[in-house]
Structure 1
Amino acid sequence: MRLGPLMLHGMLAHHGGGGSYDASRPLYLRGRVIQARYGFPHAQLRIEVPADLTVPRSLPGVDGLRGHDDWTGPPVAEGAGQARDLLLPPDLTGTLGGMRGRPQVGDEVAAVVYRRCDAEGDDYSGELRVQMLYAAGGVHPYRGTLTRFVDRCLQAARPRSAAPTATGSAAPVATGSDDPPYLLLGGGAALAAGFVAALIRLRTRRQR
């Protein structure tokens, strides 16, 4: 009977569906894995980024990433000479988690990430969410649809009725079709709750 509550908790606590990630400024990281944690819904890789980090001219597959049309330039180097935590979305977690050669301590990985907007004001502000991971001899893109990407964090922090600009017109909030489907998330939580209730009823009947 533990599975149902854990599923419900995971859906309600899943922060990726509620935050905004800046797609206008992609970041590039590469380094040696010093910590690897695999679990639902997110895996995390902590990597040690070399001080001489440079961005390669070619990054296979990035032109197909969600949010790519909002890029204002190529990815920029992030975390040179420091340790950084990479958050893997659920689909990448599932892909890598089942691989025999999934990244482990000592392995070299590279990633293109979007940073979560600091204006969210919660424990996840500034986290680096992987959009493309180069690891285990392959190219692994994020293919999910729940994450909200914006073309600038400052705009994302403004309310939808944004204050007028100098020209008198309201400043646009760059969310577009990437707004998270809150109704869908709520429906998912309700579905999980119903599933838990069904399990309880089934177990009660069996005990009679």
Structure 2
Amino acid sequence: MRRGRTSPGKAIGLLMLHGMLAHHGGGGSYDASRPLYLRGRVIQARYGFPHGQLRIEVPANLTVPNRLPGVEGLRGHDDWAGPPIAEGAGQARDLLLPPDITGTLGGMSGRPQVGDEVAAVVYRRCDAEGDEYSGELRVQMLYAAGGSHPYRGTLTRFVDRCLQAARTRSAAPAASGGPAAPAATRSDDPPLFLLGGGAALAAGFVIALVRLRTRRER
């Protein structure tokens, strides 16, 4: 009789559960009201699943083009408080690629590599205490490899402003006797408990498969 050991199925399930809840996009929110624009030369490129990552060197004279093809169809576009603003001028920035963009680029022979130039519209992850991914830049539209590559997923939670910023803005009218404006969020974003439920189902499915295989091998 084995004690104090975790079966392979349980280990895989726990890893999947932790990954789906704690990885990029699984438990955080991204500010769609303040889109950012970056352009620069790739100095590092990684296409590991589920997220690829590009580190780019942004020029000091970065300006935002008057036209950014395809952004009108992006999730969160209705919450934009204005056009994208330049981010990271004269510095290096990391761009997090969602799984669908990672998969698209990963199968292309001309995917961005070191030395290539790319541009992107991104949302910044809202800062939260204890969140190791606070402030990361998640790509919503990548202009690279001769085309435009939009994020088409639906799991990422978008807000029309980060809650901390909303509290700061709402504190002033409250202190003067006026009503505090609540932080608005998009109603079509999936509740966090759905993400947890999906992770639990996936973990349970994997555990069941491993147990079934183990019984057949006995």
Shorter-chain TM-score: what band?
0.7 to 0.9
Amino acid at match of 1:201: R
TM-score by length of 2: 0.83
* 2: CA distance, partners of 1:186 / 1:174: 23
5+ long unaligned stretches in structure 1: none
Match of 1:204 in 2: 214
Counterpart for residue 4 of structure 2: none
Q: How far apart are the structure 2 equivalents of 1:154 and 1:191?
A: 30
Q: 1:97 to 1:52 in 2, by over 3 A?
A: same
Greater CA radius of gyration, 1 or 2?
2
Corresponding position of 1:25: 34
Range moving further from structure 2, 98-107 or 129-138: 98-107
CA–CA distance in structure 2, aligned partners of residues 71 and 90 of structure 1: 23
TM-score normalized by the length of structure 1: 0.87
Give the Cα–Cα distance (whole angstroms) in 2 for the partners of residues 98 and 174 of structure 1.
Answer: 38
Aligned to 1:150: 159
For residue 120 of structure 1, report the CA deviation from its aligned partner.
Answer: 5.0
SS at match of 1:202: helix
1:169, CA displacement in angstroms?
2.8
Other-structure match for 1:187:
197
How big is the shift at 1:200? 2.2
C-alpha distance in 1, partners of 2:165/2:25? Answer: 15
Q: How much has 1:58 moved relative to structure 2?
A: 0.8
Counterpart selection for 1:127 from 133, 136, 144: 136
Letter in 1 for 2:109: R
Q: Residues 99 and 9 (structure 1 numbering): CA distance in 2 closer, same or farther, change over 3 Å? A: farther
Task: Kindly state the Cα deviation for residue 74 of structure 1 after the two structures are TM-superposed.
Answer: 1.2
State the SS of the aligned residue for 1:31. Answer: strand
Residues 45 and 146 of structure 1: CA distance in aligned 2, closer, same or farther (over 3 Å): same
Candidates 185, 194, 212, aligned match of 1:175: 185
Q: How far apart, in 2, do the equivalents of 1:179 and 1:12 lie?
A: 15
Shift of 1:179: 3.5
Give, in angstroms, the shift of residue 126 of structure 1: 0.9
2:102 to 93, 103, 107: 93
Question: In the aligned structure 1, how far is the partner of 2:197 from the partner of 2:92?
Answer: 38
Question: Could you tell me which amino acid in structure 2 is paired with residue 107 of structure 1?
Answer: D
2:209 maps to a residue whose letter is: L
SS in 2 for 1:16: coil
Instruction: Report % sequence identity.
Output: 86
